[in-house]
Amino acid sequence: MEIIPVFVLIHVFLSHVFFLGLGSPLGSANPIVKGMIASAFGIMGISVGLNLLNALIKRKMVDQEKLKRLLKETRAWQKERMAAFKSKDLAKTDELNKKSAYMNKMNMEVMQMNMRPMMITFLPLILVFYFVLPPLFAYTVAVSPISLNFIPGGFFELTCTAAKVAESQLAGHPSVCHHVNELYFWAWYFFSSAAFSGIIMRVTKTTMDTS
């Protein structure tokens, strides 16, 4: 499955929302939406809605036919150059390298085409995620059967640790984690967005697949 190329939600999420999540716990001790099941489906629905809105804006602002034509041409050149390099065909490699400046220009145009809708959707997305969603949902909205904290050093923790559970029970600390491996609401949003983005892009015909 294609996971949000260049633009859409995951790149925004990874580069911005993850870091917002690291600063302080996102969520509420007394959320408007009660219960893990309702919260999980609620966040899933919001992530689908924002993905769909994002895809429709991209479809409206970007010439999809031109984008796919540019992608097809640049990818074909890259594939041909790689084949020439592997076969040690120096003459062919030199011939293809002469097109490097032109291909770089095309790649830059593709990047600009994908960046235009981001200029519209980025700020509203961050505002909604950081200010609108936390009062609606609890700090954790699902339970993972295993720990998803694969990065050492405590960076990008997606699930509650035993230490976080113990800390949540201390006086003066927000009751963020109740059980080990509970999934933070922003992490569930990330997974939901990633899971549905490819489907939505195919439905709205905004995928970067040139086949």
Tens digits of residue pLDDT in 87-133: 888 888 888 888 889 999 998 998 888 888 888 888 888 888 888 88
Does any domain span residue 209? no
Using the Cα atoms of residue 18, residue 59, residue 204 and residue 2 in order, give the sign of their dihedral: negative
Task: Quote the pLDDT of residue 40.
Answer: 92
Task: Quote the pLDDT of residue 138.
Answer: 92
Does any domain span residue 1? no
Does any domain span residue 155? yes
What is the domain count for the chain?
1
Does any domain span residue 208? no
For residue 170, the enclosing domain spans: 8-120+133-203
Task: Quote the pLDDT of residue 22.
Answer: 47
**With a cut of 70, which residues of the chain have pLDDT below it?**
1-24, 154-155, 210-211
Q: According to DSSP H, which parts of 62-184 are helical?
A: 64-86, 90-97, 100-127, 133-136, 162-168
Tokens encoding 22:
């690291």
Task: Quote the pLDDT of residue 48.
Answer: 92
Does any domain span residue 125? no
Task: Quote the pLDDT of residue 45.
Answer: 93
Q: How far apart are CA 123 and CA 105, in angstroms?
A: 28
